[in-house]
Amino acid sequence: MKTAGIFLLVSALLHIVGSILTGFSGVGLFLLFPAVLYTAFWFGLMRWLTWVAWIALICMLGGMGGTVLELFKGSIVPDWVLWGIVATDFVVAVSLANALFARRNA
């Protein structure tokens, strides 16, 4: 879960960068919510809380979907930030799935 936690913080940072680059517009302000949420998830993952990992996994899947939709609709957030968010969320999702299912099978 440590790898997932590191990439969660990277994703949170990308959300903050996106918010800053939009001049804290409506979309930019919305990006601050996942940044705070992902940071809270990080604290839970560092304590190996399985329920936090499950919630974070669901949020990563939803977040990737929402970010891809934002890419297709033409957002004011730079594409490189959105693609970075998709990539880091994907790594988090894979890392969490691996950790969760490895624990279940053990």
pLDDT of residue 102: 86
How high is the pLDDT of residue 74?
A: 86
Q: Which among 100, 24, 22 is positioned nearest to 61, based on CA atoms? A: 100
Please report, in tens digits, the pLDDT of each residue of the chain (106 residues total): 899 999 999 999 999 999 999 999 998 999 999 999 999 999 999 999 999 999 999 999 999 999 999 999 988 999 999 999 999 999 999 999 999 998 666 5
Choose among 57, 59, 68, 47: nearest CA to 2. Answer: 47
Delimit the domains of the chain by residue range: 2-105
Rounded Cα distance, 68 and 26, in Å: 18
CB 92 within 8 A of CB 9: no
How far is 13 from 47, CA to CA, in rounded Å? 21
